[in-house]
Amino acid sequence: MLKFISVVGFFAFVVTLFPANANDPLIIPDTDEGVPGAGPLRRTDWFRGVWHKRRSSWLGEKSVTQKNSVAFLGDSITQGWGDNFNGAFGKLRVANRGISGDTSRGLLLRIKKDVLDLNPKAVVIMIGANDLAEKANGETVFGNVKLIIQAIKKHDIKTPIILCETFPCAPDAYRPVNEIRKINALYEKTWKDDPTVTIAKTYSLFAGKDGASLPKYMPDRVHPNLEGYNLWASVMRPLFSKLKLGDSYPDALAWIQFDRYDKQAVLYNGFYMYYADRKDPLEFSIEIPPDSSHKIAFQWVAKLGSTRSMLVELNGKEMVVSNAARGNGNQAFFWKILNVSDFGISEIEKDKNYQLKVHYPDDAVDDAVIAGFRLINNESQLQRKKLKRTRSNVNFISPGRMSDSEQNSFRIDKAESKSRVKNDWVGKKKLAFKEINKDKFLSAAVRFGDTVIKHGTDNYGVKKTPMFVRFLHRKLLKSPASLCYQPPSLGGPSHPVEQTQFDRSQNLLRTLAGLSQATGDSRYANAAAEAVTYMFEEYATLGSGLVIFGNHMTIDLYNDCSYSDGRSGDIFELGSIFPFYEFMYSVSPDKTEKFVKGCWEAFVRDWDTMHYNRHASFHKNVDFAKTWERPLLPVKDLPEKIEVLGFLGVGLDLAMGGYFLGCLQDSSKPREWANRYYNVLSYHRDPKTNIWPMLLYTPSIRRNLEIYREVFPEANVTEPRVIISSWIHSMPAFFLGALASIELGKIYKHEEEAVDLHNRIDDWIMGYLKVAYDGETNTLRSIILDGTDVTDHIFEKGKTLHGWGSREGDSFAAQIPSAGFFTAIAKAYRLANDENRKFYWRYLRNLFRGADFGDIGEGPNSLPKFNYKKITFEPAHIFSLVDIYRVHKNPEVLKFIEHLGTKLIELRQDPESGLFSRNPDYKDSYRTNKIHKESWEGMTIRERMRKEFDYDRPKVVALDVVEPLALLAIYACRTQQFEKIPRWHCGGQWGSDGSGHVINGDFERWFDVEKLKVYYEKNRLMLRQKGFEVGEGWFPRK
């Protein structure tokens, strides 16, 4: 019996099995005569044997089954991966054409029969180590590879070629580092711009600082170990995807990725997850026979600042698993991998399966948060990010999956919805094109609307949706892409994507609904309804009824998912947003009711004190039948201090939602709860001025407000009692939000029950005007609620406020009233009784004169004298004049409104697309301080744009702007159809101005590739620190 044979002896034995034959195409020629290329071609007996045996094995069935595969061509490094590549490329058809000991000339010699005859889908080349071992230089390897690539192109010019950089080797002269680097440099120089050749950056994967291979991945300094091959595969898979070669990601044996249809799942950073701290454990059955080679990998979130733990029970045996926070110093998704052998599984148990439970350990610091798990036998099975389906071979026992009927509750009856929208929002008479064009204001708004419904919806990912983008390039009519705040470590996208935010589309929805009302053309309202429907169906949380909403959330249109801004989780936020409830209710009464109730349930922490926080969670499971059934207690004996930031804008949003729902449903209970909030707010008003606080309750002193306490000891300074600096510009939205309830009460015949509330709102607005408005300078002062004027207070060294922009040696600037402020006072005037109208008129007259609009007259019956010369105005100024015109129908007021509308079109509307942008000479009047000027203050749009770009006005513009709403209001006045005037409450949200416009260099830069390249290079380190690496997807897609 043959017990031992040397390597040389073995290959000599192999050669005898395959005797040389001059006509055999599989043998190595005895001489170089007629052999293409240059450099070494090995002819030792052992190599002849390997060469013949490997090549012979590819004949017959393999030559058929491996047709149209991705062919890997190389030496022992390639051969060592195995014929099936250890499953590294999933179901992608791949062929291993590596031969141990081969050189680049050997590859060239066998390229046709071994590779090209397969008609490969693509060819992967990695070669060079053996050439260098045979004393060839880098130029020789490069020359042969060049001939190989020429041969592939000659066979089929379209065949993708992936050229892997030559791997590093040992730090010695046998395979010199400088020669390897030379080969790779020649690759880069020659093929970096070749569309059919992709250079795989494989050298740096395995090279240390000295340029030699890392023993961690190459123990013998030449050949990768399993970890090394996995690393190589991780580079190849994205290239295969980019080249559209097929799915190369291997599937796990079993998996579950939680989704919105799993009971009690919570939304966290755009992913559905479970916290381990549960009353009952998570319980699963994995329908795979246990095997000691298996591993179970939990997709884990390590949150900031705490060690998180869970108790894993697998087939009856328990283990506590813990992990500290990780990832950019904050938090990150990662795989926590456990060997099933650690749970006592030592063999294959064919007739059994896995029973898995996840509990919470008694002594844990904090609970684990998991998004799913995978059962694997190879860690490459964790590389697939997007699963084809959310579960495979896993039965979710507890809390389990929603039933079909529960899942269907997400859906909206489209036919019924469309009928309601048509009845509520589409004018009874459809105007002909000529009729629309007769009115320049209506036709301008229609031109805007036509562009929005044609080019403003989501066509950026694989899935096309009816969602509206936030921005469009007014010439290219494409949305810019930008980076998400959520980094890749938290599951965010690794490159810029097109984004949107539903809360910042409310004025756009009002515009589209208004267009259908005015024209009788249903297209606009239907487009808006489809967007709202999609939000309710795809981005609502069943347990709370809340949709993805607020400043801290964004929707990625490219990948069709949502993200938070990378804070502690998904944050739901209101705050002077004032959603378009009337329209949402037409789309789905049920969903809108749940959304409003969900807002109240998520925000309100105590229904007696009505205290709430500025942020809420999506996670609450709401009993919608009980929301308004709580006892309405008398408003008395309320505390002054509660440690929560209950900002006024949030409360007004809640109250408006409750009041709107009560009117739309003709139900008194939600209106009563809205009124109770106003009663609690009035309870905390200043007794001297009747001004409502900026927060419902007083938290511990913040923002260095002790400074004001020292200087103004009698004013009882707390954060809720200051209206200073930028907070002054929040007041118009607050006024408009409160007045919206009064207006809706009038429309729905609930005027009588709202008389007391209306009086309190008027007292609040009038009290503020009395102490904050300076008629002589036409400015609004920074005040304490009791009327104390703090505008002129000079901040001493070391005694500035936090968060309001104060500067040492300076004081706050008095603020010029915004256009929204005009609108708020004019709406208060229109809704007021006769006595209060006299008060408001005096202030309106001062406001218009102070802004150089002219004189509206001593009284409503006076003849106004408007300034038709060049003036600075905003769309919201038009709304204020519209409210005055609705009361008195003065033709001079309408004439001036039409003048402003004409100027609005001339100055801001793009004549081709109909989109609106700021005119170049516009200058924001906002100043934080009297002396110190911030870099952006006082600049015209032209000056801001010219700092980087060679044009005067933005090319990328927002869609959620106020201009088309103002034009529709003018049309309604001209046709005396006041019921069709869109109800506008607020212009723009965070990051936009009062008319909804945003000027953002990143958006402008997106469409200029050269500027993008410069910007990325300049900011590469900053991007890298945030977890981003510039590469694929960082430039506009064709």
Q: What is the rounded CA–CA span in Å between residue 575 and residue 654? A: 9
The confidence band for 332, taking pLDDT boundaries of 50, 70 and 90, is low
Domain locations in the chain as residue ranges: 7-242, 254-407, 591-837
Mean pLDDT in residue range 116-127? 97
Split at pLDDT 50, 70, 90, the class of 593 is very high
Residue 903 has pLDDT above 50, yes or no: yes
CA contacts within 13 A on the Cβ side of 405: 0
pLDDT at 4 over 50: no
Question: Does residue 362 register a pLDDT over 90?
Answer: no
Q: Could you say which DSSP state residue 382 is in?
A: G
Confidence label for 1031 from pLDDT (cuts 50, 70 and 90)? confident
What confidence score (pLDDT) does residue 568 get?
Answer: 56
pLDDT of residue 303 exceeding 70, the answer is no
Mean pLDDT, residues 678-683 = 95
Q: Is the pLDDT of residue 574 over 80?
A: yes
Decide yes or no: CATH 3.30.43.10 for domain 591-837.
no
The region of weakest confidence among 274-278, 345-349, 648-652 is 274-278
Q: Which of 389, 405, 397 is nearest to 259 (CA)?
A: 389
Judge whether residue 279 has pLDDT over 90.
no
Per residue in 137-193, pLDDT tens?
Answer: 999 999 999 999 999 999 999 999 999 999 999 999 999 999 999 999 999 999 999
Evaluate the CA torsion angle 584, 588, 589, 591 in order and state its sign: negative
Q: Calculate the average pLDDT of the chain.
A: 91
pLDDT digits (tens, 9 = 90+) for 707-716: 999 999 999 9
| Interatomic CA distance for residues 710 and 798, integer angstroms | 14
CATH class of 254-407: mainly beta
The average pLDDT across 244-263 equals 93
Percentage above 70 pLDDT, the chain:
95
- 331's CB contacts (< 8 A; 6+ apart) are 301, 302, 303, 304, 325, 489, 490
pLDDT of residue 287: 96
Query: 295-302 and 394-398: which strand pairing?
Result: unpaired
- Note the pLDDT of residue 834: 95
Cα gap 800→791, rounded to integer Å: 13
CATH of 7-242, one of 3.60.21.10, 3.40.50.150, 3.40.718.10, 3.40.50.1110: 3.40.50.1110
Q: Note the pLDDT tens digit of each residue in 743-791.
A: 999 999 998 898 999 999 999 999 999 999 999 999 999 999 999 999 9
Tell me which of 631 and 61 has the higher pLDDT: 631
Output 620 or 381, whichever has higher pLDDT. 381
| pLDDT band (50, 70, 90) for residue 9 | very low
Confidence at residue 357, expressed as pLDDT on a 0 to 100 scale: 97
pLDDT confidence of residue 566: 60
DSSP state of 503: G
What letter does residue 37 receive in the DSSP assignment? S
In this predicted model, what pLDDT tens digit does every residue of 912-951 receive, in sequence order? 999 999 999 988 878 899 999 888 788 899 999 999 999 9
Averaged pLDDT, 857-870: 93
Query: For residue 19, what pLDDT is reported?
Result: 43
**How big is the CA angle at 745 (ends 739 and 748), to the nearest 5 degrees?**
140
Quote the percentage of the chain above a pLDDT of 90. 74
Q: Enumerate residues 6+ apart whose C-beta is below 8 A from 961.
A: 507, 508, 875, 916, 988, 995, 996, 997
> Mind listing the pLDDT tens digit for each residue in 791-826?
999 999 999 998 888 999 999 999 999 999 999 999
DSSP result, 871-920: ----HHHHHHHHHHHHHH--HHHHHHHHHHHHHHHHHHB-TTT--B---T
Give per-residue pLDDT as tens, 520-573: 999 999 999 999 999 999 998 888 899 988 888 889 999 888 888 766 567 888
User: Is the per-residue pLDDT at 298 higher than 90?
Assistant: yes
**Tens of pLDDT, residues 723-740:** 999 899 999 999 999 999
Q: What is the predicted pLDDT for the residue at 304?
A: 59
Please state whether the peptide bond connecting residue 875 to the residue before it is cis, i.e. omega within 30 degrees of 0: no
pTM of model > 0.85: no
**pLDDT score, position 236:** 96
What is the spatial distance between Cα 357 and Cα 395, in angstroms, rounded to a whole number? Answer: 12
Average pLDDT over residues 892-897: 98
